């Protein structure tokens, strides 16, 4: 192999400014089993081990011109080389497929890790490659299962592994009790699944191991602990099923009994060590810390390929161990190198008691991935220990698939990810497969490297946690509709197209398990069963050409914002069917908008990204049919009608009660009068409208001026008890309307300015006693101000001069009852107040006369995109009863895309393409509509709480190249969905083609038509309610573009509709050698 040609190069720091440069090492010297390459003052020495069909180069020694100058080292083969490279240690990383090898972390070399090695071979075929790799696996230090490891055992092991895992059909199950687990396991058995997968919420009882060991077994599901778990896995084997478990890669929780509870283990990962420079008491919120000499705060980066002085961005660096107390800092000021300031400290974090500490106390920064857990230092004995314990657990319980979520938690030292895989693969005793949240097997599970393992690789569930390539099954919820009959077709077709014979089933977003509740409520369960049976029947005769035809339809997911890119997209779905006892596969294509349509995609930890169209009864779509003219299948969901602009709506009380301020006030009707929100309020009225100590009938205005420090502002509530009613404004913006003498109501208030502010109450007394008792509670930092109604308020009648108020008595001691607070019925909009808008990158946004004027100039030659960095303002609102959004937009036809985002626990986008000029009144029925829009699509988040809106973000999501966009937006407001019905829904295609659905269809029902004289009506979980007659006249979708309109009998209502229309291609016979899609 003396003819191996390649290039060695280093990245290094050079010159007085330490500039990063790349240099080739051109000098080479070989002999006596060594290879030395040198240049630019560097000398890299390898030992060379010659085998019959390959060489091993093992890095032995590194000499650099000055300490700390060598950053990375790499070797790459010449372009026309017939050789391939194989890495043999975790400090090396393959590049350019099998043609390059890199040492990206040679700057971090230490005695705890090898220096790195790789092999070079020139195989003539796959069999020779595998034979050479088998020898490397045995003789050259690659990780392998425990026990004696010989060529014979390795060959038998590999053969058994490839046969056993050729079919990895898997179902993710979720259960809260052992009875539930047995129920869903029985369903898995009936589906002939090869493996049952339990997520941590089922087998361990929590996702992150907050309260227990990472090895704890959930007593609710397995009352007998690990013994019961072991019995369960035995029962699975008796049914011919394996056992897969999810883990968070040995992360250590705040109450771990072995490593945290009785003292923080010194082998947990630290990123900085030092001492306190000043003594602190147990109440101190600011600590002064001197880091060890030469230590600087890391620069945060968004990947694991970290260089020296960097840390992945998901690592939280604000938890410190001070003595034996855990302290969480709000911020770390490291502007001075000698003394860092830990500000806003939460003392006694994670259950550790707050204590006083003298100057010089040891202070260490803990590495905390995602601000959730601790992790072992990758170069410590604890790293080895925790992995070994996990491997032994898996062996005891016959785990045959290891789902290694959160593997990136060990990237605080960038070689930690590879080292984890290396150590785990060296500690396992039983055959298994593996997966990570990236959708790939563990990098050092060598079985996957063999070219003879291609069938196992084809059956590998790509796409992340919990079998990402799964057939989805989930029930309807307020933030996502139930799996429909077309979503279930997406993944099986893709798996078959890439050569797989495995089919996976899951609920594709956290916590992923198919539960008894899903099985009992989801009406498509029998369809899923039939689908799996029909695919397995088709696979009995499927030809390689047929698989190739299916596979070609899965390509790039056309997300304009680049999300969902780790999964393929498709325009065509495939439905296996049995016709007269023969298998066939029917291609199905969604009829997309003629202007362009999103294709089908699949989001990690989310599931199908589904193309749909939304319109109201009476509106039309321009669609395009690329196939032959035919009668379409269709699916329509009847939604509600959106309430008008001025409708009021009730925010559910449940969302308000979790607020900490309200919790303190729930003693309002108890003897603890000081806790009542109006404890210091007086009943007041305009002095000039009071006669004989009582308010006269009529309308008065009451006001109070005050100042707000927005830099400290946390939140505010206005409390009102009124006789009879009032309208309240803050800085001229209406925040409340209503009132009653026996109700104390409150509203959240956010529209403050920095500096002077005013609350104005226009109160009406219809007769008899009248009064206003009010209090505005403002939280600034840790302090709460109580601006209660009293003599400091002013009053007037009409446009008269402002004067004094009259005191009608103390709250709770007058004729009006003392009552507990409750949330008010309020009209809310989503518009900002003056002085509250946070800027967004590149945007110019001004608020003039209650209108947002938004402009953006894109002077570049490419489309600009703003997923997050758009103008924003704080908003405290519950939209669970009003999930639609309306607004008035004056467009400029620029082709930019306006995005209104509501944020809280997650986010939802409301998207408006600015493809028009002039002013339009617009409605968007829900935040999920954006997922199906070709101008935007899914943005990587599914979970959301409409009842916890905390921020509104408005601006341009995209602006075309070389474009100035300028629009005006008014009256952004939540809209509620009102249930209604559609009568005699009529679908018209062009002229003279129509289908009429006879009778009434209610909001919250699906229509599914697949041909014939009737269609099915289903509830929101796809349980069939009834059949409904249809009347047709030449109902057909012509080839090419056409107009589709949906109308109904006049009811005075205009509900929204969610639609999908499909055409079919010529059925494919699975055994056909080269079938085609379409017609």
Q: CA 244 to CA 394: how far, in whole Å?
A: 9
With beta carbons less than 8 A apart as the criterion, state whether 596 and 590 touch.
no
- Supply angle C-alpha 972, 978, 979, rounded to 5: 155
Task: Compute the distance between CA of residue 329 and CA of residue 280 in angstroms, rounded to an integer.
Answer: 14
- Residues 854, 810, single domain; the answer is no
Q: How far apart are CA 483 and CA 519, in angstroms?
A: 12
pLDDT recorded at residue 647: 42
Residue 736 CA neighbour count, 13 Å, CB half: 32
Q: With CA atoms as reference, report the closest residue to 387 among 251, 206, 263.
A: 251
CB 336: neighbour CB atoms within 10 A?
Answer: 10
Other residues' Cβ atoms within 10 Å of the Cβ of residue 912: 25
Write out the residue range of the structural domain in which residue 854 sits. Answer: 843-977
Instruction: Report the run of H or E that residue 390 belongs to, with start and end.
Output: helix 381-396
CA-wise closest residue to 592 among 930, 1067, 934, 911: 934
664 part of a folded domain: yes
Does residue 870 share a domain with residue 821? Answer: no
What distance in Å separates the CA atoms of residue 752 and residue 758, rounded to the nearest whole number? 9
Asked if 777 and 886 sit in the same domain, the reply is no
pLDDT at 669 (0 to 100): 30
Partners of 86 in the β-ladder? 119
Give me the phi and psi of 381, to 5 degrees please.
-70, -25
718 in Cβ contact with 759 (< 8 Å): yes
Q: What is the maximal distance between C-alpha atoms in the chain?
A: 114
- Cβ contact 902:972 at 8 Å: no
Has residue 711 been placed in a domain?
yes
> Does 814 lie in the same domain as 669?
yes
CA torsion through residues 346, 347, 351, 352, sign: positive
Residue 291 lies in a domain: yes
606-623: burial string, b at 16+ Cβ within 10 Å, e else: bbbbbbbbbebbeeebeb
Q: CA–CA separation, 681 vs 673, rounded Å?
A: 12
User: Are 781 and 881 part of one and the same domain?
Assistant: no
Contact 326, 320 (CB under 8 A): yes
pLDDT tens for each residue of 356-413: 999 999 999 999 999 999 999 999 999 999 999 999 999 999 999 999 999 999 999 9
| Residue 871 CB contacts under 8 Å (≥ 6 apart), including other chains | 837, 838, 839, 840, 843, 845, 854, 953, 954, 955
Domain assignment present for residue 219? The answer is no
Q: Residue 373: what pLDDT?
A: 96
CA–CA distance, 1061 with 988 (Å, rounded to integer): 13
Q: How many domains does the chain have?
A: 4
Q: Helix, strand, or coil here: 254?
A: coil
Whether 860 is in a domain gets the answer yes
Do 696 and 798 belong to one domain? yes
**Rounded-to-integer distance, Cα 375 and Cα 249, Å:** 9
Please list, in sequence order, all residues whose beta carbon lies within 8 angstroms of the beta carbon of residue 3, skipping any fewer than 6 positions away.
Answer: none
Q: Which of 91, 115, 142 is the last residue of a domain?
A: 142
- pLDDT of the residue at 467: 52
DSSP secondary structure code for residue 280 in this structure: B
Task: Identify the three-state secondary structure at position 847.
Answer: strand
What are 523's two structure tokens? 């009406």
- Are residues 818 and 883 located together in one domain of the fold? no
Q: Is residue 778 part of a domain?
A: yes
Cα separations (Å) of 123 from 6, 89, 133, 152, 155?
17, 21, 10, 21, 18
Residue segments in the chain with a per-residue pLDDT below the cut of 70: 1-4, 304-306, 463-468, 565, 644-674, 825-828
User: Which 8-state DSSP code applies to residue 338?
Assistant: S
The Cα–Cα gap between 338 and 200 comes to 43
Residue 1046 lies in a domain: no
Let me know whether 114 and 28 are in one domain.
yes
Residues 701 and 759 in one domain: yes
The alpha carbon of residue 984 and the mean position of all alpha carbons in its chain are separated, in whole angstroms, by 40
Closest CA to 364 of 256, 275, 265: 275
Provide the phi-psi class of 145: left if phi over 0, else alpha when psi is between -120 and 50, else beta.
Answer: beta
Give the separation between CA 546 and CA 532, rounded to whole angstroms.
18
Q: What is the DSSP letter of 630?
A: B
Whether residues 896 and 766 share a domain: the answer is no
* CB count in 10 Å sphere of residue 195: 24
DSSP-derived 3-state class of residue 16: coil
List the CATH number of the domain containing 938: 2.60.120.430
Report if residue 99 sits inside a domain.
Answer: yes
End-of-domain residue from the set 928, 955, 977: 977
Closest by CA position to 934, among listed 520, 593, 540 = 593
Do 817 and 870 lie in one domain? The reply is: no
The CATH number for 336's domain is 2.40.30
Q: Are residues 817 and 859 in the same domain?
A: no
Tokens of residue 102, six digits: 């890199």
Contact 795, 683 (CB under 8 A): no
Contacts of 291 (CB under 8 A, 6+ apart): 272, 273, 274, 337, 340
Burial 46-55 (b: 16+ CB within 10 A, else e): bebeeeebbb
Eight-state DSSP code of residue 514: B
What is the DSSP annotation of 1002-1058? Answer: ETTEEEEE-SSSEEEEE-TT--EEEEEEEEEES--B-SEEEEEEEE----S---EEE
Quick one: tokens of 48?
């060379």
Buried/exposed code over 800-817 (b: 16+ C-beta within 10 A; e: otherwise): eeeeebbbbeebbeeebe
The DSSP annotation for 750-792 comes to: ----SEEEEEEEEEEE-SSS-EEEEEEEEEETTEEEEEESSTT
- Give the CA angle between residues 647, 649, 654 to the nearest 5°: 170
pLDDT digits (tens, 9 = 90+) for 1026-1073: 999 999 999 999 999 999 999 999 988 999 999 999 999 999 999 999
Cα–Cα distance between 350 and 329 in angstroms, integer? 13
pTM, two decimals, is: 0.84
Task: For residues 465 and 510, give the distance between their C-alpha atoms in angstroms, rounded to a whole number.
Answer: 9
Spatial contact of 957 and 897, defined as CB atoms under 8 Å apart? yes
Among residues 977, 1004, 1035, the one where a domain terminates is 977
Give the CATH number for residue 817: 2.60.120.260
User: Of 18, 11, 6, 19, which is closest to residue 57 (Cα–Cα)?
Assistant: 6
Cβ 422 vs Cβ 90: under 8 Å: yes
């Amino acid at each position: 192999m003396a003819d191996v040609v390649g290039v060695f190069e280093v990245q290094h720091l050079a010159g007085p400014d330490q500039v990063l440069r790349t240099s080739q090492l051109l000098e080479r010297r070989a002999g006596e089993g060594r290879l030395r390459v040198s240049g630019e003052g560097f000398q890299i020495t390898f030992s060379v081990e010659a085998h019959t069909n390959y060489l091993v180069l093992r890095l032995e020694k590194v000499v650099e011109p000055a300490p700390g100058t060598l950053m990375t080292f790499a070797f790459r083969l010449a372009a026309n080389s017939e050789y391939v490279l194989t890495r043999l240690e975790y400090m090396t990383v393959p590049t350019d497929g099998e043609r390059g090898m890199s040492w990206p972390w040679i700057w971090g070399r230490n005695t705890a890790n090898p220096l790195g090695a790789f092999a070079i071979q020139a195989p003539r075929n796959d069999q020779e490659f595998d034979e050479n790799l088998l020898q490397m696996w045995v003789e050259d230090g690659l990780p392998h299962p425990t026990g004696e490891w010989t060529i014979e055992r390795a060959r038998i092991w590999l053969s058994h592994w490839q046969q056993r895992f050729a079919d990895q059909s898997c179902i993710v199950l979720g259960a809260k009790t052992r009875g539930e687990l047995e129920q869903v396991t029985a369903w898995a058995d009936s589906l002939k699944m090869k493996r049952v997968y339990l997520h941590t919420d089922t087998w361990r009882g929590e996702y992150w191991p907050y309260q227990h060991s990472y090895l704890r077994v959930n007593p609710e599901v397995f009352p007998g602990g690990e013994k019961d778990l072991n019995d369960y896995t035995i029962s699975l084997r008796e049914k011919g099923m394996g056992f897969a478990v999810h883990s968070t890669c040995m992360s250590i929780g705040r109450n771990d009994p072995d490593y945290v509870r009785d003292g923080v283990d010194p082998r947990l990962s630290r990123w900085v060590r030092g001492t306190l420079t000043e003594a602190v008491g147990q109440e101190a919120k600011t600590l002064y810390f001197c880091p060890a000499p030469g230590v600087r705060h890391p620069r945060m980066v968004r990947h694991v390929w970290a260089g020296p002085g960097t840390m992945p961005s998901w690592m939280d660096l604000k938890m410190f161990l001070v003595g034996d107390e855990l302290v969480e800092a709000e911020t770390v000021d490291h502007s001075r190198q000698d003394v860092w300031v830990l500000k806003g400290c939460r003392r006694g974090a994670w259950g550790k008691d707050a204590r006083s500490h003298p100057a010089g106390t040891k202070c260490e920064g803990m590495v905390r991935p995602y601000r959730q857990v601790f992790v072992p230092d990758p170069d410590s004995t604890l790293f080895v220990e925790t992995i070994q314990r996990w491997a032994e657990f898996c062996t005891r319980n016959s785990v045959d698939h290891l789902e290694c979520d959160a593997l990136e938690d060990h990237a605080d030292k960038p070689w930690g990810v590879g080292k984890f895989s290396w150590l785990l693969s060296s500690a396992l005793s039983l055959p298994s497969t593996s997966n990570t949240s990236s959708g790939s097997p563990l990098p050092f599970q060598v079985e996957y490297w063999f070219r003879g393992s291609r069938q196992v690789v084809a059956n590998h569930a790509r796409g992340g946690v919990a079998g990402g390539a799964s057939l989805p099954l989930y029930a309807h919820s307020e933030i996502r509709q139930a799996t429909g009959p077309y979503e279930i077709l997406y993944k099986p077709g893709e798996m078959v197209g890439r050569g797989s014979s495995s089919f996976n089933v899951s609920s594709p977003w956290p916590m992923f398990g198919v539960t008894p509740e899903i099985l009992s409520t989801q009406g498509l369960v029998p369809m899923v069963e039939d689908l799996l049976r029909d695919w397995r029947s088709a696979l009995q005769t499927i030809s390689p050409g047929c698989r190739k035809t299916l596979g070609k339809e899965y390509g790039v997911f056309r997300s304009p914002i680049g999300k969902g890119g780790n999964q393929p997209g498709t325009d065509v779905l495939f439905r296996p069917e049995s016709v007269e006892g023969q298998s066939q596969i029917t291609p199905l294509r969604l009829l997309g908008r003629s202007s362009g349509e999103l294709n089908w995609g699949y989001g990690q930890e989310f599931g199908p990204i589904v193309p749909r169209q939304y319109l109201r009864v009476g509106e039309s779509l321009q669609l395009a049919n690329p196939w032959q003219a035919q009668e379409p299948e269709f699916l329509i969901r009847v939604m509600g009608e959106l309430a008008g602009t001025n409708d009021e709506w009730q925010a559910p009380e449940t969302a308000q009660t979790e607020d900490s301020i309200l919790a303190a006030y729930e003693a309002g009707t108890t003897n603890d009068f000081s806790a009542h929100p109006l404890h210091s309020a007086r009943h007041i009225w305009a002095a000039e409208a009071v006669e004989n100590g009582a308010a006269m009938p009529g309308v008065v205005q009451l006001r109070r001026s005050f100042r707000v420090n927005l830099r400290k502002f946390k939140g505010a509530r206005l409390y009102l008890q009124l006789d009879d009613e009032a309208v309240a404004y803050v800085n001229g913006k209406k925040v409340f309307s209503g009132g009653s003498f026996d109700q104390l109501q409150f509203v959240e208030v956010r529209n403050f300015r920095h500096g002077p502010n005013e609350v104005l109450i226009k109160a009406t007394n219809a007769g008899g006693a009248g009064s206003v008792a009010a209090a505005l509670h403002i939280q600034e930092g840790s302090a709460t101000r109580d601006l209660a109604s009293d003599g400091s308020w002013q009053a007037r009648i009409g446009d008269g001069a402002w004067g004094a108020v009259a005191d009608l008595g103390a709250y709770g001691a007058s004729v009006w009852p003392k009552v507990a607070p409750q949330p008010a019925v309020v009209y809310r909009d989503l518009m900002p107040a003056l002085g509250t808008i946070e800027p967004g990158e590149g945007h110019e946004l001004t608020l003039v006369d209650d209108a947002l004027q938004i402009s953006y100039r894109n002077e570049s030659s490419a489309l600009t995109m703003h997923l997050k960095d758009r103008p924003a303002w704080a908003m405290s609102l519950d939209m669970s009863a009003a999930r639609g959004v309306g607004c008035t937009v004056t467009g400029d036809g620029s082709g930019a895309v306006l995005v209104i985002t509501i944020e809280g626990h997650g986010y939802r986008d409301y998207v408006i393409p600015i493809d028009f000029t002039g002013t339009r009144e617009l409605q968007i029925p829900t935040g999920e509509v954006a997922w199906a829009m070709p101008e935007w699509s899914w943005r990587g988040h599914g979970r959301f709480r409409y009842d916890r809106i905390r921020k509104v973000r408005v601006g341009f999501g995209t602006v075309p190249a070389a474009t100035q966009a300028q629009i005006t937006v008014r009256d952004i407001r939540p809209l509620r969905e009102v249930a209604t019905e559609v009568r005699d829904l009529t679908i018209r295609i062009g002229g003279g083609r129509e289908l009429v659905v006879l009778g009434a269809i209610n909001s919250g029902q699906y229509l599914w038509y697949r041909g014939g004289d009737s269609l099915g009506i289903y509830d929101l979980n796809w349980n069939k309610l009834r059949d409904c007659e249809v009347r047709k006249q030449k109902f057909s979708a012509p080839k090419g573009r056409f107009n589709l309109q949906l109308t109904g009998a006049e009811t005075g209502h205009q509900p929204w509709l969610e639609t999908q229309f499909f055409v079919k291609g010529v059925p494919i016979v699975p055994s056909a050698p080269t079938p085609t899609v379409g017609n």
